[in-house]
Chain A
Amino acid sequence: MMLIRVQAERFDAGALLNKMSGADSDCGAVASFSGQVRGGNGLTALELEHYPGVTEKALTRIATHACKRWDLRQAVILHRIGRMEVGEEIVFIGATAPHRRAALEAVSFMIDTLKTQAPFWKKEFDAQGERWVETRAEDDRAAARWLQEEEDMSA
């Protein structure tokens, strides 16, 4: 089962996790990642823009890829758009599987590839004004590492 959603509304990561936990009796592992707006450095809020339609396709492709590579029962990607205050949730990634390694690796794969493959853009707000967030080189490296592993496996 795959759940892909892009929404402006806040969500409850705990409730999502509880729902995933009870769904399949043959699952020994439930793994998740929750991203939230990081304070500090004077940041007051974030604004998330995306490319409607294309974003959902990209997220579906990422979750489908994860389901093919690992033995999963569920893959969940939920991402918010619009304005968010410090401490608010941005993204939830979840996976359930019979065994822990598949669930943990799939979650890691989905958040790493989301950062470089899904058309979202973040703008930061602070007392000085506003600025678009630039992609970090380490994000590119994290996503590239998964693809490199696949090339190595098929070689």
Chain B
Amino acid sequence: MSITVRYFAALRERMGTAEEVIDAPAGTAAELVAWLVARDDQADALAHPSTRLIVNDEIVSREHALSSGDVIAFCPPFSGG
């Protein structure tokens, strides 16, 4: 399935890109992370518990089931204000 993946702040710098469209097997957000880590060691930071996942503009858990066309964003802990 086609998924748009976005990376922010420190994760964007670590992954070397702000956004990519990938063709990943169907599954949960956690399974997508495992797939990304298998593809590229640098992606291990995505698996860190402090990394927040936002799918189609809503914060979700790692058990969230992804659908084709979803936009998933990987976010380091927020530090605004």
* B57 & A121 in contact (Cβ 8 Å cutoff): no
What bracket does the count of chain B residues touching chain A fall in?
A: 10 to 19
Contact A111 B81 (CB under 8 A): yes
Query: Which residues from chain A contact B24 at a C-beta distance below 8 Å?
Result: none
- The answer, among B9, B54, B78, for a CB contact under 8 Å with A116, is B78
Contact B8 A119 (CB under 8 A): yes
- Judge if A35 is at the interface, Cβ distance under 8 Å: yes
Contact B80 A118 (CB under 8 A): yes
The answer to whether B78 and A119 have CB atoms under 8 Å apart is: yes
Establish whether residues A91 and B78, one from each chain, have CB atoms under 8 Å apart when the complex forms: no
Given the known interface contacts A49-B9, A54-B54, A121-B8, the answer about A132 and B79 at a Cβ–Cβ threshold of 8 Å is yes
A20 CB within 8 Å of chain B:
no
Q: Are the CB atoms of B9 and A121 closer together than 8 Å?
A: yes
With A54-B57, A115-B79, A120-B81 known, 18 other A-B pairs at CB within 8 A are A49-B8, A50-B80, A51-B8, A53-B57, A79-B80, A79-B81, A91-B80, A115-B80, A117-B78, A118-B81, A120-B79, A120-B80, A121-B9, A121-B10, A121-B79, A123-B9, A132-B76, A135-B78
Which B residues lie at the A interface, using CB under 8 A?
6, 8-10, 50, 54, 57, 73, 75-81
